Amino acid sequence: MDVIWAPWRYKYISMVDKDDEGCVFCREDEYVVYKGENCSVRLNKFPYNNGHLLVLPNRHVSDLSDLSEQEKKELFDLLIRSKDILMDVLSPDGFNVGLNLGRVAGAGVEHHLHFHIVPRWNGDTNFMPILSDTKVISQSLMELKRILVDRFGERE
């Protein structure tokens, strides 16, 4: 089996603590594109692809069983809404949507659960990451944020 190392992510993962002050989601608001009553949508600071969003409860929750009924509903509604907005704005061919629960399952921020929604395009894998250890993201985070904030605001 081949192993793909991503050591640049460790700095991000190691900053995370169990309390709200140490949680990157609780202390960094600059990447938030929508904040609802119970849940939020934010840009992933280290995206796998352009438009990589995180959908998460506003409250510090580490397990699905700990979500309130209102959080569950708003979380799933925001996943659907995020997918629809990304489809309109970026026209991807598909999406990866996922949740990692616990460090052993790949959760980099294990004490604040969050869903990833990653737009995918036919042919979005190429030689750059393999040959030059470089990922090409076609749009700046702040440019995309401006567009998404506007789009989330339109549908309220």
Per residue in 50-67, pLDDT (tens digit) is 899 999 999 999 899 999
Q: Is 114 a catalytic residue?
A: yes
Average pLDDT taken over every residue of the chain: 82
Give domain status of residue 94, yes or no: yes
Give domain status of residue 118, yes or no: yes
| Distance, CA of 40 to CA of 104 (rounded, Å) | 25
95 contact partners, CB below 8 Å, separation of at least 6: 83, 86, 117, 118, 119, 120
**Domain range for residue 98?**
7-154
Catalytic residue (one of 52, 112, 114, 116): 114
CATH at residue 24: 3.30.428.10
Q: Which two tokens stand for residue 91?
A: 């026209």
Closest to 115 in 3D by CA, of 55, 58, 68: 55
Number of domains into which the chain is organized: 1
**Nearest-5° angle of CA 53, CA 64, CA 68?**
100
Give domain status of residue 1, yes or no: no
Tens of pLDDT along 66-79? Answer: 999 999 999 999 99
| Distance, CA of 71 to CA of 97 (rounded, Å) | 18
